[in-house]
Amino acid sequence: MSQQRGLLLLIICAVLSVSGGYASTIQEPARQHASASYGAPALHMPSAPDDWLGGTGNWSNGADWSAGLPGSDSDVSINTGSDNVTLDTSSSINSLVLGGATGSSMLTGDGNARTLAITGALTVNQSGNLYLSVDTVTAGASSTNLGSIDLENRSSLQVNGNFNNSGALCAGCNGNNSSGNALIAGTLTNTGTMQLGYFNLDPYSSGYGSATVGGLVNTGSINLTYGGIQVNGNATNAGGISPSIGVRDSRSVAT
């Protein structure tokens, strides 16, 4: 009898040791279930298209969009060939395509300070025209301008990646003490035209424009009248920069 009791005690001790001190068959599966639930990845909502339906209107009017008012998961397109959209509210979206090959697609500020935060890329195509006034547009990925971008009245374009400009980029070009700036974290590749600042003696009018870029590859034209560009990396210039006194480069300029 004493031998059977001793054997029973050894079995109980073994069960307690294996189960971490709890003689329960549901303890370990419960712990595994809790661990699996805690470590489950968060759900990621995919982006969805949201197209401007055409004509003149305000960004804030959900009825003018194919999927209602754009939100953080929206891939926004303004490209019917006849578009004039006023950015009358701040917004966060996933991406923006402005314009196409033909027609006219405009996105303009309403004169109040608005922000348009783009998680991904900004693409301004040939028929696209982005006009900002006291506004800030940010793009979280490399972006492209084949059309027209105009930054006035302390407005700003910020790209957290590379930026290719084969269209026209203007900052502070309207005179009347206007100003604008472009901030490119990566390399600015310019094959189009850039106008930073403006000066007109008759009638007297001036504006100031600036650009700060991670690197510069220029085969186009950059005019720095009452403006300047700061290059924080390497700069290669096979195009025209006038006047060159407006260029500040921290490394080298190859011409």
CB 94 within 8 A of CB 123: no
| Residue 228: its H or E element | strand 227-231
pLDDT of residue 226: 83
- Residues 165, 132, single domain; the answer is yes
Whether the per-residue pLDDT at 155 is higher than 70: the answer is yes
- Residues 28, 84, single domain; the answer is no
Task: Look at the alpha carbons of 244, 247, 253, 255 in this order and tell me if their dihedral is positive or negative.
Answer: negative
- Inside any domain, residue 43: no
- Residues 155, 94, single domain; the answer is yes
- Residues 77, 12, single domain; the answer is no
- Coil/strand/helix, residue 71: coil
pLDDT of residue 202: 61
- Interval 31-72: pLDDT, tens: 333 333 334 444 456 789 999 999 999 999 999 999 999 999
- Inside any domain, residue 177: yes
Closest CA to 74 of 116, 43, 31, 15: 116
- Residues 141, 206, single domain; the answer is yes
- Residues 83, 102, single domain; the answer is yes
- Residues 160, 97, single domain; the answer is yes
- Residues 112, 231, single domain; the answer is yes
What lies within 8 Å, CB to CB, of 6 at 6+ separation is none
- Inside any domain, residue 60: yes
CB neighbours (10 Å) of residue 179?
Answer: 22
- Inside any domain, residue 92: yes
0.85 surpassed by pTM: no
- Residues 135, 225, single domain; the answer is yes
- Residues 133, 173, single domain; the answer is yes
Overall number of domains in the chain: 2
- Residues 191, 111, single domain; the answer is yes
Q: Which domain holds residue 26?
A: 2-38
